[in-house]
Structure 1
């Protein structure tokens, strides 16, 4: 009897459940549609639609659909406050200005070179700047953005092993101009090269040693052995006058003043690209008249002179770097010189002997074409003998001849 009653109750419960679902399922669907079409929520720059979490959703979550800046997004949260905070954060992210675009260093530096450097410097200087960019600066910073370059990056460039201080200073000259422009363009706040912590050291440049008096005498005595007019003219000028190599190559026959016994230094020939000689006027302080020795005049008179605007060494066209190197090798062979003919050593040697013989630093400075006597003493005058005058003065006061 009890079993029969229980079975009847279970059957009744099952039947009631089926009837309930059939009766209220349409109502549930209507509620879902109503929730999806409920009144929009208005924000400053978007609208939102509520969605009640139903079957299959966690009852602890709320979903709302918002239109923000023309895009529809669903935001889910555990409370109204959570939904609001997420919506505000999303609207703030979309309205926040995009970060400024950065600038590739290589492209920026080439623009500086093209528009600010190249039109305003001499051709030789421009070639030097471009070489610094290609050899040292671009390998270090070419793939970086200029905004991302730090003091540590710059210091690493100047810490390169084996670099001469003179070379590092050339690199700094170019890089400093690029950084200064970047500051003008508001791409950098500070110039790393002006930082207190920045250091530029580098190795000292090799000192140019003068030829000995005996070596100079041998070269002068054997000029007559030379057969090439260019070789004769070069050695006669280089061994007797304190000229730079580029000044010797820049001499034209109109600069040889036999009446005043002078060489008028007005132009120079440089080789920034090795075999492409460039003729330029000398700097203002380097324009000068250098006394012409009788020995030089004698040998210049022994060769056929060209037109006034022809070069003393080279003729119609000045010598290239390769031609100078081959000429020096040829001269050394023909005069049986035991060492190497090095153009840079002639100027140092002649200035050293001018000072040694005259003890007049102002005279030596004028012959060198230097702005200051300090430059002449520091870089070119290598005294061959110790001046005993100071020792003699002390001997006269304190000395005991016994």
Structure 2
């Protein structure tokens, strides 16, 4: 299927508006059903929008999101490569607010599952009948020896888009001639966009233009990775001799960094580097832990409606959930959000609930107009969200096919962001 803005969202018109003041429903059970959504990314914004839009005012929807402008992780690698401006990744919540959603720019800091309330750093206590958590990722403490979030300015992760992405690009542009950009790649499972290997491609593209003798070093704990054959073909074609990947067989799983000295040690071998992009192991955003619905690093959910296996009144979307076969991508979160919104609306108003169906595509840009993709469709089973069938770009494709794939991804970006934010 070819994606473009119209195909993705249909003919719904986007409107502009200003943020509504919070007007929370009463906590005594009277009035309209209340849905609180925490996290305004691909999962949360989509869920809030679809519940508000399809319920025709029958449900009170509150969206809690600390940032006033949301920068998408997907396509942030293209900013690093020089294919997009940072402003093109930023989106506001004004249109969502204009449709009647209470948009609260605050941090959710507590969940009382017995009282069915969410508390915020700003002092709100917000009641809910259903709670949807889509908080994205946090990092596992101690995942990379020598690194924690206090070192993120010296060695950025750039896995939460915005200022971190801008910082990483500025560091790359400031590298000395012939310098070294290093990446500590994450173990599975990890947030897919901004995928590490697309990032390597985009950094290589930028360096080829501004610093052609620079080198790229990847310390990778994984034996293999998604679209590996496609990336390696592209690296050999476009960036021959620039990129070295050290996998677990050669110590890629045994790494340590020193942000003060700007060194990366791989299996005891110390490398002086000029930029070090550390992407640690990941886990569900902190509010999922606070709510007490995680098991290990992620929040297990039921496939049919993304409800927590620990609390039927809480649903978890996107990167934070353990749901089965879907990758942790923006497309996946958006797809899950629509299923969840339909189920929540049905539970609260008695409207029709349709069988759960899911889809995902992950695009990657390797070089100018050299786009590749992988994707699948999924269904809900008793055990998990299960893959039904899938597709992937082939090695050796023509330049016309690769350009069409890239153009398809641009249409999808326009479509999904309109679907999220209106």
Provide TM-score, normalisation by structure 2.
0.22
Structure with higher Rg: it is: 1
Provide TM-score, normalisation by structure 1.
0.23
Q: Relative CO higher for 1 or 2, CA cutoff 8 Å, sep ≥ 6?
A: 2
